[in-house]
Amino acid sequence: MKNSYILAIMSPDGKSVRQVSVGRWCLKLLYIFLFTVIVSALGGISYGLFSRSSHEAVEAKNANLKKEVESLKSELASEKKEMNEIKRMADKLSSGLGIDIDTESEAGIAQGGSGFSANSLEAIVDTDSTSHLQVYNSDKPDSLSARVAQAKAAIEHVYDYVVKEEKKLNETPSVLPIIVPEDGEDKIYWFSSKYGPRRHPTTRRREFHFGLDIATKEGTPVIAAAHGTISYCDYHKLFGNMIRVKHPSAKMETVYGHMSKFADGMSVGKKVARGEVIGYVGTSGRSTGFHLHYGVWDSEISTSGEGRWINPMDSIFGHWINQ
């Protein structure tokens, strides 16, 4: 037959042979089927490789975006810390200068740019087959650091000045160095010997008294007249139990003599605060009665640069009030 082919099928032992007639059109269909299967298989393999490559690219992009979001969150946390520092400085200025500064509003800091907060850094991850990471409102705060730095620089020099002046004020002697009764009670102290020329109570010689003697009851608490650091805490042959306190910012030093004893914990190098009890009134050393010898040394006003004793009365502006 002209339009057909004979297929011979032989048994394994070769004893029988079967012939099958196959038309050309059947072979063409078989060829087409095999070609389709091969092409489909190759297409499937190619698509699988492409999909895998695309998936890996998307995952890599997602990882980069996640890193970027974490970086932005870290930057925002850092800037928030700076903003809190600025608020603390502003509060200090407000307290030191007695002015009202609105540190609760961020408007003053954020002027000139779009706002940025933690809410604008929310990331939503789609976990379906596409695995796309979508970031909403994630505009980078490119100018946030600059705005924070400008705001901090604008306030920092004023802040430093206020802190320096506050420290100087705290270290300037300004109160009577003993604790006195509350208003309304009988006066229990008097100035038995003021700053200036006098006749010494024991030698009876005329000399200059470089301090202020505050006569009062034995055991009356003696307090530091200002913040400072103890530079001397020992027995002195003239002033008995004596403490000297340095006040570096004010360039001054105060002296407390003739005490009966020191308060617990007093020693050289200890920092004390204005109003802190450092000892108790007594009559130790060269003394004729219970009193506190109080002296104030000023190293700034001397023309020689070594300093000189000044009148303690000029450094007493009131009584210490326990709060």
pLDDT in tens, 261-320: 999 999 999 999 999 999 999 999 999 899 999 999 998 776 666 789 999 999 999 888
225, pLDDT greater than 80: yes
111, pLDDT greater than 80: no
pLDDT in tens, 124-164: 334 444 444 444 344 444 566 777 777 777 677 777 888 88
- Amino acid code (one letter) for 141: P
Q: What is d(CA 179, CA 92) in angstroms, rounded to the nearest whole number? A: 29
pTM listed for this prediction: 0.58
- Amino acid code (one letter) for 224: A
Q: Tally Cβ neighbours within 10 Å of residue 55.
A: 13
Residue with tokens 């901090």: 152
Residue 155, helix vs strand vs coil: helix
pLDDT in tens, 40-92: 888 888 877 777 778 788 888 888 888 888 888 887 787 778 777 777 777 77
Mean pLDDT of the chain: 78
Closest CA to 232 of 306, 309, 295, 310: 295
304 CB-contact burial (10 Å; exposed 0-12 / middle 13-18 / buried 19+): exposed
Pairing between strand 133-135 and 123-125? antiparallel
- Model confidence at 105, pLDDT cuts 50, 70, 90, reads very low
13, pLDDT greater than 60: yes
Q: What is d(CA 187, CA 109) in angstroms, rounded to the nearest whole number? A: 55
Helix, strand, coil % over all residues of the chain, rounded to 5:
35, 30, 35
| Top-ranked range on mean pLDDT: pick from 55-59, 184-188, 242-246 | 242-246
101, pLDDT greater than 70: no
Q: Determine the pLDDT at residue 297.
A: 94
Percentage of the chain surpassing pLDDT 70?
A: 73
Q: What is d(CA 28, CA 151) in angstroms, rounded to the nearest whole number? A: 84
